Every structure is written in C-alpha cells, then in structure tokens.
Chains A and B, each alone.
Chain A
C-alpha cells in the first residue's frame, strides 16, 4: 500500500497554477499560485465567492483558459503524471470528455437543444468510446438508467427542453460520465436547483463515485453543499488559496477568518442564531499587493496584516493556511 502511494503519481496534480486574463500588454493575475492534488475516488471542493478564481482554475485543468482570453502564466497541471500545460489542442481534445469531463450550473446550456437526450449521450460514446451507432445508443440508454432517469428508453427520444432542471442535470451527468472519465469537474452543479432536487443530484454524484472510483473536483460557493460531498476543501479568496485541509478539520476548526466567515453564513436548520455575515465585498483580482487580501474585511486584523502578503503556510498534516495570526486565533467552526 505504502509502496503504491509513493510510486504512483496522484491522478490530478496542480502545482503553482497562475492564470492571467487580458490582452496585449495588460494582463491581470486572476489566479495566483494555486496547488492541489486529487486522487481517484476523492472529492475535492474548490470553495469561494464569485470572483475568487475557482471556476477559472478548474477550466484551466481542461485546457480551456485560452478560449476565454486567458493564459497560464506559470505552473503545471499533471494528469497521471503527464504534463497538460503546453499540450497541443488536438491532444487536449482527446483528454477532454474522455479522461476529464465537466458539468455546469445550467445543464441546458451544455446540452444541444436540437438533439434528443439519447443522441447527445450516444455522441459521447461514439466519439470517445469508438462505438458504432447501435452500441452507442444502447450505451446511452444504459447511462440514462444509471443516473436515475425513469423510463430511459422513452426519455432518450425526448429533447432537453422536455426535461425539468433536475432531470436535465442528470442527463448532463450521463453525458459527462458516458466515456468513463477518471476526473469529473462539477461547477456549481446544484446551484440552480430546488433544495429537494439538489439533495437527489448530490446523492447521485456520491453513488456514481462509490461505484466507479471517480475523482470529483467540486466547485461551489455553498459550504453547506460541500459538507455533503467533499473529502478535502480548498478555500479561495481573490485569486489565491487562503486555507486547505480535510473537510472535518477545516469545518470544525477553521484557521482562516474567511473560512470561519463562510461557515457562519451557512443557513442551517436549528441554528438558533442569526447568520453571521462577512462585511464588505471581495476585492477584484490583482488589485491588492503586499497585504493580506482579506484584511480589510477581517475582524481579527492587526497592524502587521496590511504590511506584507502572508504566505500559505503548512500548519498540520495536510493542512495549510494563509494568515499571519493563524497560530494565535481560535475561530468558531461548525459544532455538532
């Protein structure tokens, strides 16, 4: 066991990822020095507010940064030890959809309205699994059934608009998983859904994961949802990692005031206390240099906080935090 851990590279390894967006001579650092690893069967949550850089970090894994006017300035992304940064588009396209798949917040946007449910899933099977027409169709029906779409043979002939939000997300999951990818990137997959439907979709993701040993990179702003699915959490703020660690440690004993703030703003039943909101707004990426980027919103800040940019320091076994006061702060986490 120890042998295999040391000799095998992690499934996905992101190291020092720095992304810039812009054009010509004006480039803004949107993501700075982000590192994480993801192993088979694991769920890693990238957490943060809108504008924290979580989605662009994940799309960079798919080699899509360039499509939206971005570029990888530094860092490496390795899938089973193989470097993806700098690979030609033709190679990346082979990996995308077959090895690494993605689902989005709005499932209807990732589905083609002009094709039936069965056709879109079958297309993935034809392209990535090299199946013939009939075999691909059968595979599609099998996938619709696996993601819990009732009466799959009939539903396969329906168009995306005939699916409800939750069923459309199941369909998107079926299409994403049809090629047996090893990594699934799930970008806010339940944000647009009702709470009841959200619970079912999360349950489906957990089941798929335990059945197939899928690794999931789960992007969310909602720590309540993350609590339900993740093994490890990376908290991002203004383009950088501020804290990371195993979910049970990070939730019960957060080390960064921002993490504690996010935990305090989760609406939960029976809290018996009002939500604790973090005052202020997230600064746009690239605007704050030489300071802790969270300091202006932090209730624990001291003079030193705005005089230097704190490094991400390893605090304990597989935990790290970017806070000057991490050692002397005792922050409130989730209590049972």
Chain B
C-alpha cells in the first residue's frame, strides 16, 4: 500500500541564548536530526525514547505546529511544507492530534458537547443540527454516551477527558492522528481502556497513527512499526516484532530492560535471567 505520510530528512534546531552564559554564547540544540519514516493508511507507527529525545517535536513538526528547518513532509501526495497557512489549515482537518494532558487541552468553560463540536465549526463542516447528531454519535463511540454532553471538564475524570479529546480529534474524520503520550497522565487501568478505544477506532475508521511514548511495552500493544529515538536521532527503526525481539542497538536494549516486569521480584529472584 502506498504511504499516507512520508517524512524524509526531518530536522529542527532550537537556538537561543543560554541564561546561564549571560549572553556570551548562543546555545544551539539539534532537537530533531535527519528523521525519516512513512506511515501507511490504517497502520500505526510508534516513536519511543526518553524525555528530551525529540519524539514530541517530531509529532509537532509533522503537523507543522512547529516549523521544520529541514526535510520534506508529504501527506497523501501533498508537500506540506509548501502549503500556505490556509492550505495547512485545510490539511489539518485530515491530520489531528491527541495530547498528553487531557486536563489542559480542553477549555474548562466549554461544555463537553461544545468542545467536541468545535473542530466542525472551525472547519465549517456541518450545520447546527448535523453537528449535534455527530457529537452524540462520537460520544457513544468513545464510550461516554450523551449524558456527558452538557457536562464540563471539571466534572470528568482524566480517562473520561481523554475520551473527549479523542472524540474531538476524530469528529472531523481525519486520516491521520498524532497521539503524544495520550495515556502518560492516566492510571494503568484507565490507560488500558484508552488504548483499547484507540485501537478499536483505528480499525473501524482505517486511521493511521503516530503514537509517541516513552513506554516500550505500549508499543507492542498499539504499533506496527517503531522508531527508537535518542538525542534527536533515530537509532533504530523497523517492524515492532523485529525491533523488540531482536534489538540491534544497545540503547534499545537498555530501554527494553527498563520496562518493569509484572512478575513479582520475589518470584524472579534466584532464577537465571533469561535473555529476551
């Protein structure tokens, strides 16, 4: 299948004066350096790495929420970097984002229904009656139900808010969604619910996902391909089964070793460690 999103040689340098050097030197950080990958329709690519590896920056660069310095981003045959602001605005109907913190990504003074309907208004996609019907349908799809429509963010739990954020991203029927650590702020049990919802939505709607996480065990649950990033560069990439079972890089092995095992330590101890 042809690539929906094709990223080649993506690069971003953040410059600025360090406050500690008192204006004497310019500190330049290459946050993303020569990153290339493709996402096919209906598939999911994970970006993993520690804080500061540049994985969130990659997600933002792809949507041009941050302007890239280098590289090309082609979405369904369209060169995104050549788009005007208006052209980009139109492209973003098809490219959505779900953020890490569901508490801060929703307007506390807007009702849940209004928050979910907002992208339809922004993109002028539906009349009022149709909007209400779509919102009701999305609320059902994400497992909340219409009784949540008139509530406000403060009345909802983190997991429920993340469902709202997902509903809001999906209501414009995008082809591609960037999920930036969408479960990092949630309880493990709620995380499982949100991942279940995302994979279900993905298969129902044929979505392509870019899933950003620091947790390698989630990669196995959600992704087909994975990029392992360290200090702005991709150190290893490939199909999830390959990379996780036969990691070639020391760094990937370190990340794998850090994933906590659900087997109690008392049961693990005294046994030879088996290589995975």
Do A and B come together as binding partners? yes
A: which residues have CB within 8 A of B?
Answer: 49-51, 165, 194-199, 202, 221-225, 227-231, 247-248, 251-252, 261-271, 274-279, 281-282, 334, 336
Leading 8 A-B pairs by shortest Cβ distance: A265-B192, A277-B192, A267-B217, A275-B192, A224-B260, A199-B258, A277-B193, A196-B258
A269 and B276 contacting across the interface, CB-CB below 8 Å: yes
A279 and B188 contacting across the interface, CB-CB below 8 Å: no
A72 CA to B58 CA, complexed, in Å: 50
B195 — nearest CB in chain A belongs to which residue?
A: A275
A247-B260 in contact given A267-B215, A270-B276 (Cβ < 8 Å) = no
A277 and B255 contacting across the interface, CB-CB below 8 Å: no
A227 and B264 contacting across the interface, CB-CB below 8 Å: yes
A50-B157 in contact given A221-B188, A278-B192 (Cβ < 8 Å) = yes
A222 and B188 contacting across the interface, CB-CB below 8 Å: yes
Partner of A227, one of B157, B190, B262: B262
B: which residues have CB within 8 A of A?
Answer: 50-51, 157-160, 187-193, 195-196, 199, 214-218, 220-221, 244, 254-267, 276
B261 and A195 contacting across the interface, CB-CB below 8 Å: no
Minimum Cβ distance to chain A for residue B211 (Å): 13
A274-B221 in contact given A248-B266, A269-B216, A334-B263 (Cβ < 8 Å) = yes
A267 and B187 contacting across the interface, CB-CB below 8 Å: no
The residues of A that contact B188 with a CB separation of less than 8 Å are: 221-224, 262, 265-267
B254 and A268 contacting across the interface, CB-CB below 8 Å: no
A272 — nearest CB in chain B belongs to which residue?
A: B220
Secondary structure at chain A's binding surface: helix, strand, loop or mixed? loop
Residue contacts A-B, CB under 8 angstroms, 14 given? A196-B50, A221-B187, A221-B189, A223-B262, A227-B263, A231-B266, A247-B264, A251-B263, A264-B192, A269-B261, A270-B244, A271-B220, A281-B159, A281-B160
A198 and B258 contacting across the interface, CB-CB below 8 Å: yes
A231 CA to B157 CA, complexed, in Å: 31
B191 and A267 contacting across the interface, CB-CB below 8 Å: yes
A50-B158 in contact given A195-B216, A221-B187, A224-B260 (Cβ < 8 Å) = yes
A336 CA to B268 CA, complexed, in Å: 9
The residues of A that contact B190 with a CB separation of less than 8 Å are: 49-50
The residues of B that contact A221 with a CB separation of less than 8 Å are: 187-189
The residues of B that contact A196 with a CB separation of less than 8 Å are: 50, 254-255, 258
A271 CA to B222 CA, complexed, in Å: 13
B157 and A268 contacting across the interface, CB-CB below 8 Å: no
The residues of A that contact B216 with a CB separation of less than 8 Å are: 195, 269
A261 — nearest CB in chain B belongs to which residue?
A: B189
A195 CA to B193 CA, complexed, in Å: 21
A247 and B266 contacting across the interface, CB-CB below 8 Å: yes
The residues of A that contact B189 with a CB separation of less than 8 Å are: 49, 221, 261-262, 265, 277-278
Minimum Cβ distance to chain A for residue B260 (Å): 4
The residues of B that contact A202 with a CB separation of less than 8 Å are: 260
A263 CA to B189 CA, complexed, in Å: 9
A250 — nearest CB in chain B belongs to which residue?
A: B264
B157 and A281 contacting across the interface, CB-CB below 8 Å: yes
The residues of B that contact A194 with a CB separation of less than 8 Å are: 50-51, 214
B255 — nearest CB in chain A belongs to which residue?
A: A196
B255 and A228 contacting across the interface, CB-CB below 8 Å: no
The residues of B that contact A222 with a CB separation of less than 8 Å are: 187-188, 260
B214 — nearest CB in chain A belongs to which residue?
A: A194
A248-B264 in contact given A194-B214, A224-B188, A274-B199 (Cβ < 8 Å) = yes
Partner of B196, one of A195, A225, A275: A275
B215 and A227 contacting across the interface, CB-CB below 8 Å: no
Partner of B265, one of A223, A229, A282: A229
A282 CA to B263 CA, complexed, in Å: 26
Minimum Cβ distance to chain A for residue B166 (Å): 14
Minimum Cβ distance to chain A for residue B21 (Å): 14
The residues of B that contact A274 with a CB separation of less than 8 Å are: 196, 199, 221
